[in-house]
Structures are given as C-alpha cells and as structure tokens.
Amino acid sequence: MDNIVDKVTNEDYKYGFTTDIETEVIPKGLNEDIIRLISKKKNEPEWLLEFRLEAFRHWQTLTVPTWPHLSIPEIDFQDIYYYAAPKAEVEGSENKEIDPELLKTFDKLGIPLHEQKALAGMAVDAVMDSVSVKTTQQEALAELGIIFCSIGEAVQNYPELVRKYLGSVVSHTDNFYAALNSAVFSDGTFVYIPKGVRCPMELSTYFRINAKGSGQFERTLIVVDDDSYVSYLEGCSAPMRDENQLHAAIVELVAMEHSEIKYSTVQNWYPGDKDGKGGIYNFVTKRALCKGNGSKVSWTQVETGSAITWKYPSCVLLGDNSVGEFYSVAVTNNYQQADTGTKMIHIGKNTHSHIVSKGISAGHSQNSYRGLVKVVENASNARNYSQCDSLLLGDKCGAHTFPYMEVRNETAIVEHEATTSKISEDQVFYCNQRGIKTEDAIALIVGGYAKEVISKLPMEFAVEAKNLLSISLEGSVG
C-alpha cells in the first residue's frame, strides 16, 4: 500500500472563495455588553436576553472540554467577532431586494435563491455569517400551516413556540460550547410542522461563513407535531483562510407522537490546507427528543470538512416505541481531526436504536468514533445495534473507537460490532486492470464502503455526497 499512499497532495477546496460585501460587525470579544448588543440588534424580547445572559454567566464558570481524542490549539474567545451581518438588502429598495453579490455567492454554491429558479421540491434558508439572507418557498409551506423561517424571524412572529422549545432539548448547562452558543447564537432555522402534515418538500439550510475573524453560532430548532413528517437537510462551506474559525452550533429536534424527522447533514466546512493550516473548528451539539410514543428520528451525516470536528448527534428516546437512528460517514484527510459519534438514551419502553458509523482516515488525520448507548432502569425491551467500521488509507493516519454502554435494564439487547480495514493494493490493481485509474478506483471502493449511509440521504444529495467523498480523498493515494 505504501507506494499508493506516498503522494499526498491536496485537491483545491471548491468553495474557498470570499464574497466582497459590506458587513456590519460589532466589536470583537465577549462580555455582557456584547450580548446585550446582539440581542438589541435582533430586537429581541426581554426573556431571550435573560436566556442569553444566564447562559453566559454559566459559561464563565466552565472550561473547555479535554476528554475528546483531539488536539485543539488554545482558542482566544475574546478575539472573535460574535456578530457579523452582511448587508443583505439593497439600500433603499422597496421590496427588500437582495444584494446581487449575495445571490451570486449562493448561486456559485449551487443554492439558487430566486423563487423562480428555486430547486424543485426543496425550500432553502440561506444563512451567511450571523444572519439569514433569504428563505424560499415560505408561502407554499404556510398554506399547509408549516412554519419555515430563520430563528430570528420566529422569535418575532412565533415567540410562544420558540420560548416553549428553545433550550428544552439542549440546555445551556449541557456543555461548554452549548453554553457559549446559548449566549451568543445568531441565525439558524426554525421549523414547525403542525399535526398530521407530511411536509411535501425537503427543507434545508445552507450555512456560509464569509467574514474574517468571525465565528458562526447558529441555532436550529425543529418541532414536528403528532403524526407529521419532515425531511431536513443542512449544508455548509467557508472560505479558505490561514486562520482557524469557530463554528459552534446547537440543533434541537422535538418529535411528538408518531411523528418522524429525517435530519441529513453534508458537512463541507473548509478543512485547512494539506499542512493543517487554517480550517473550521466545528464544535456542535445536536440532539433530538423523541418525546411522543412511536416517534422516530434519523440522523444521517456525511462529514468531509472542518479542521476539527467534535459532534455527537443524539436521540433521547423518551416516548414508548420510539426509534433513533444514526448513520454517519466521517472522512478525514491530511491533518484533519474528528471525534464524532452519537448518544442513544433509551428511557421509554420498547425503544429501538440503530447506529452505523463509517470512518475513513487518510493522510496524517485522526478519526474517532465515540458513542454512548444508555438504557435506564425502566426502559424495558430496549434494543440497540451498533456497527462501527473504520477504513484506513495509508499508515500515518489513526482510527479509534470509543463505545460506551450503560445498561440498567436486563431485558435490553445491545449489540456492537466493529471492523477495521484497509484498501488493498490488490483491489486497486484489479480496477486498474479493467481500465479504471487509481483515483477513480479509490472513489469507487470508498463509495462502496459508505453506500449503506449514503443511500439514506435524499436522492439529489446522495450524488453530491459521493462526489464530495472522492474529492476529499483526492490526492490521498497516488
């Protein structure tokens, strides 16, 4: 394998451009005045300011977590802009005309925002830095009673709903970055699906970091009422910069009785260059509460970007007969580091969870799976099946598995399987002999390895994710 892995270069990051647009930033640093200023900019009610301040006061008592299998350089939290708002609208325009530069940016990313050009069967909320630029298809969705808007807009228009659920799944006391996000969060997406509605299109949010020196702290809240369904997808990218930028988000999902949420992520933040310089720190808390009986949440993630990833999309299976699923492909190349996995907390009776994690490591990268399966005392007949596979390309990368199990009910059945494999020279030569060149052979083999997860993505993104996988690994073999 050595001679295949010798040549390690870096494919150009396709989304590394910067948009030249006037951006309003508030002073760097973090203190109560900054938080008051953010809250004021967003014209927030008093309770939300209090929510932020309480989180901030708690955050000040915390220190950065050191348990992940990651080496994270010290972050100066006073050296970050916590609010950066591109001037989205053309000044003086009557019907809130969007700056053409912004439209161009999202066009370039493959996210057309003009209603007439909008992707069929899909509604998009486009977020740049701290603000939502535009949300498409809102009217069509509103006819079904579906709310799909930025969280800032939701605070203004649906304050009761937001107040009821914000922080109900991920409290500000959950962890260091959750506290930070709760103090300074800016735009993200709010979704509410009323009872008995099957959302007819994919809802999605595209997150873009643009401003230099800023962080992105979005917050997403999705509430799906009884007997309803939604499929939601998030994508993201950032310019290529030598500095590291922080992305610390919170995603909260609430699934009521017999409802289902399918949450898919294609994460493509700038991973840094081939020497490990620059890139996004992606420190994210994602959790779903399967609140109602028979509710179901599926997390599907394809992670190829970010210099460092620290995230564990989880399910709290509170309702009886509820189901949690986690399907993940995490790719690390060059000097990327990922510590990712899930938590499945079985509380209701007859709850099921299914975990499929596929790690792919190349270059000098480190890729860890960390997962917890917890079955509480009263959770009778809980079932879990976990499968964690690692694929190594070369001998300078690392793959690690940290499975935790806490089972307090003896009717539970918890299974864990793990494998580690390498792409063999024989497989590559076999493809070569049939006329397939090495780069394409690797893409084919990796695609086959990740198929079980990719197939869970909505159709059009499955293709994108497959391409992304091969681009991320391009140059990792020669």
Decide whether 232 or 449 has the Cβ nearer to another protein: 449
Q: Which is nearer to another protein, 96 or 434 (CB)?
A: 434
With b for 16 or more beta-carbon neighbours within 10 A and e for fewer, the 206-230 pattern comes to bbbbbbeebbbbbbbbbbbbbbbbb
Strand partners, 235: 206, 266
Q: Which is nearer to another protein, 65 or 448 (CB)?
A: 448
Number of H helices, E strands in the chain: 11, 23
Smallest separation (angstroms) from another protein to the CB of 462: 13
Q: How far is the CB of 362 from another protein (least distance, A)?
A: 18
Q: Cβ contacts of residue 84 below 8 Å, gap of 6+?
A: 23, 24, 25, 129, 130, 210, 211, 214
Residue placing its CB nearer to another protein in the complex, 29 or 447: 447
- Among candidates 464, 472, 122, which has minimal Cα distance to 266? 464
Round to whole Å and give the CA distance between 166 and 297. 18
> Quick one: 439 or 464, whose CB is closer to another protein?
439
- Nearest distance from C-beta of residue 427 to another protein, angstroms: 5
- CA-nearest of 308, 349, 262, 292 to 73 is 308
| DSSP calls for 356-394 | EEEEEE-TT-EEEEEEEEEE-TT-TT-EEEEEEEEEE-S
Q: Name the token pair of 300.
A: 């599907």
Shortest Cβ 3–another protein spacing (Å): 6
Q: In 10 A of CB 152, how many CB atoms?
A: 23
- The DSSP code sequence of 435-464 is T--HHHHHHHHHHHHHHHHHTTS-HHHHHH
Helix 438-454, helix 425-433: angle, nearest 10: 110
Q: How far is the CB of 356 from another protein (least distance, A)?
A: 12
Please give the single-letter amino acid code of residue 444: L
Query: Smallest distance, Å, CB 78 to another protein?
Result: 48
- Smallest gap from Cβ 302 to another protein, in A, equals 15
- Rounded CA-CA distance 218/249 in Å is 5
Residues near another protein, by CB under 8 A: 3, 424-427, 429-438, 440, 444-445, 447-452
Minimum gap (Å) between residue 445 Cβ and another protein: 6
Q: Where are the beta strands (DSSP E) in 180-237?
A: 189-193, 202-208, 219-224, 229-237
Q: How far is the CB of 352 from another protein (least distance, A)?
A: 25
| Amino acid type, 407 | V
Cβ-based nearer residue to another protein, 35 or 445: 445
The nearest distance, CB 389 to another protein, in angstroms, is 10
Residue 3 or 95 having the CB closest to another protein: 3
Q: How far is the CB of 449 from another protein (least distance, A)?
A: 6
Nearer to another protein, 47 or 430 (CB): 430
- Give whichever of 378 and 424 is closer to another protein, judged by the CB atom: 424
| Closest CB to another protein among residues 95, 433 | 433
Select from 445, 473, 341 the least CA-distant residue to 68. 341
- Distance CA(218)–CA(158), nearest Å, equals 18
Closest CA to 186 of 207, 213, 163: 207
* CB 442 to another protein: min, Å: 11
Cα dihedral sign, 160-162-163-165: positive
C-beta separation of 233 from 200 below 8 A: no
Q: Residue 38 or 428: which CB sits closer to another protein?
A: 428
Helix (H, G, I), strand (E, B) or coil at 301: strand
Q: 1 vs 26, which CB is nearer to another protein?
A: 1
